[in-house]
Chain A
Amino acid sequence: MNKPTGAVISAKSSTKKSIIDFLEKAMDKGVFDAVIVPMRVPAGDSFAYVLIKDKSLFKDAFPIPPVMFVQGAKAVSSVTRLGKGNMKIAALMRPCEIRATIELAKLGQTDLENMTLISMDCPGVLPTSDFLSDPEKGMKQFDEAAKNLDDKIMRPVCQICDKSSMMAGDLHIGTLGAKKDTFFVISNSQKGNDILDKLGISLKDNIDSWHAKVKNISEEKLKKRKKAHKDLKSEIGGLDNLLDAYNQCINCHNCMRVCPVCYCRLCYFDSDNVKHPSEDYLQMAESKGSIRFLPDTIFFQMGRMMHMSLSCVSCGACEDACPVSIPVAQIFSMISDETQGLFDYVSGRSLEEPLPLVAYKEEELHEMEDAND
């Protein structure tokens, strides 16, 4: 696909309402049979992904909620892990959730054939604990921050996210650079084109202002990201610093369980492979003097980096789930930028790009061979 094209849609009351109208219209015309969208729970204090079949329930739908309790990719893969089914489903999510979904598709954990992925410009996500301490205040703060493009109250990885408007799915809803009471609908695939065609939306409008604004923000954020990673590296790099950074780890493996791309049914680190007879532990204790229990905290973290950093989308779900506030997502995003950089790979950028570990080039990485300086 060349440079994506788009249409300007005018919002009747609010952008949110108009986006929902757009989805409703698509269901009316039979373009989608159901929609996966975040919804505010009846109590009003949290949000959940729902698969909506009954259009009347759209009134509670809430695109781009202030928090991410469940990473959307997990919702999508729950629906389609066992195959695509007959229904055409649209999922409206944040770009990092779409990217994780694409990674899962490459990992064989979801079937996207009957799925339409719709991303939106993302202002960031509030840390769950901040939001839960006062949901009403959180809502207001989030709205205000989103309006002013102020990311200071968002998750630390959101503050350094240079892909908050990345188009990886079929359609993208752009709010950046749009005139008052309008938003952009942008197509990123043939599937997207076909859908907009059926809805009678022609992709002829000028969306340069969106492209310009997005470019501007991502460049700025990329600079911030590089600096943050550099600072983090000097803070946690090296054996002693690293041990300090993970010292509080309680081995709960929550970070792995909430990770959208950690897909194994049985994690290696939960398996019997990492359980040893007591003689082994005694021997380790003897050679070191003592050994920490529960064991293997750093091992688990490093293992996850080796296994999953190539697919990490820096969504920050792991950090939110950490009960002892270890900056796992920041460390992970630092490492994954480096590992993905090895292969010029960006997780979730495109469905066609193969996962780095199932591809190779004959002439590459010669600096890794026989390195002995």
Chain B
Amino acid sequence: MTKETEKFEPRIVGFLCNWCSYAGADLAGTSKLKIPSSLTPIRVMCSSRIDPVLVTTAFLHGADGVLIAGCHPGDCHYDKGNYYARRRFAVLKKVIEGLGLESDRLRLSWVSASEGQRFAEVINEFNEKIKKMGPNPIKVKTSL
């Protein structure tokens, strides 16, 4: 069992905002910081564009973790998109939690365009946590 967990490489879907977090991830790359290969980044124009249903799609199709990253509050390219994103994320998390599913597989973080280091920390930390949690049990549910 331990061996299996050790081998387990998570699949993490990252919704990254175009103006901050995607650029932050880019900077982490050009700075040659270590980024886990488990991340599948999806660039969106704003974190508030992320309908909870998109995250649910990833979650129910077996993503082991979903990261939503946007500009820091107050720094949104569109002024207040990330405030709306935070509310949407809260609803998403509440629904998942309310149904007794693993809401810990979802994470919201703020990463600015200059924070390559922070992006690397966030994704590595999240990756380690998902590794500990093991594979998303939804993956093997055939009746889903």
Contact = CB atoms under 8 A, between A and B. Distances in A.
Instruction: Answer yes or no: are A and B bound together in one complex.
Output: yes
Interface of A: 233, 236-239, 241-243, 247, 268, 284, 287-292, 297-299, 302-303, 305-307, 309-310, 334-335, 338-339, 342-343, 356-362, 364-365, 368-373
Given A309-B95, A338-B98, A370-B107, A287 B139 contact: yes
A342 B94 contact: yes
List 4 tightest A-B contacts by C-beta distance, closest first. A237-B100, A360-B83, A306-B52, A238-B100
Contacts of A242: 99-101
Contacts of A371: 104, 107-108
Interface in B81-109: 83-84, 86-101, 104, 107-109
Given A292-B143, A338-B95, A343-B87, 4 more contacts: A338-B97, A360-B80, A361-B83, A368-B90
13 contacts: A239-B101, A288-B140, A288-B141, A299-B57, A302-B95, A339-B91, A357-B91, A358-B84, A369-B86, A370-B108, A372-B107, A372-B125, A372-B126
Interface of B: 51-53, 56-57, 60-62, 73-74, 80, 83-84, 86-101, 104, 107-110, 122, 125-126, 129, 137-144
Contacts of B90: 342, 365, 368
B109 A369 contact: yes
Nearest to B92: A306
A306 B77 CA distance: 25
B141 A243 contact: yes
A71 B31 CA distance: 59
Contacts of A292: 142-144
Contact of B53 (A268, A288, A290, A373): A268
Given A242-B101, A362-B83, A369-B109, A306 B95 contact: yes
Contacts of A334: 98
A200 B92 CA distance: 50
A369 B56 contact: no
Nearest to B125: A372
Question: Secondary structure of the B side of the interface?
Answer: helix
A346 to B, nearest CB: 15
A334 B97 CA distance: 12
Nearest to B80: A360
A310 B98 CA distance: 14
A335 B95 contact: yes
B138 A239 contact: yes
Given A305-B95, A343-B87, A360-B86, A370 B109 contact: yes
A142 to B, nearest CB: 33
A302 B56 contact: yes
Given A357-B91, A362-B74, A289 B60 contact: no
B94 to A, nearest CB: 5
Contacts of B80: 360
A233 B98 contact: yes
Contacts of B138: 239
Contacts of A268: 53
A105 to B, nearest CB: 21
Residue of A339, A360, A364, A371 contacting most chain B CB atoms (<10 Å) = A360
A343 to B, nearest CB: 7
Contacts of B94: 335, 338-339, 342
A334 B83 CA distance: 26
Contacts of B88: 357
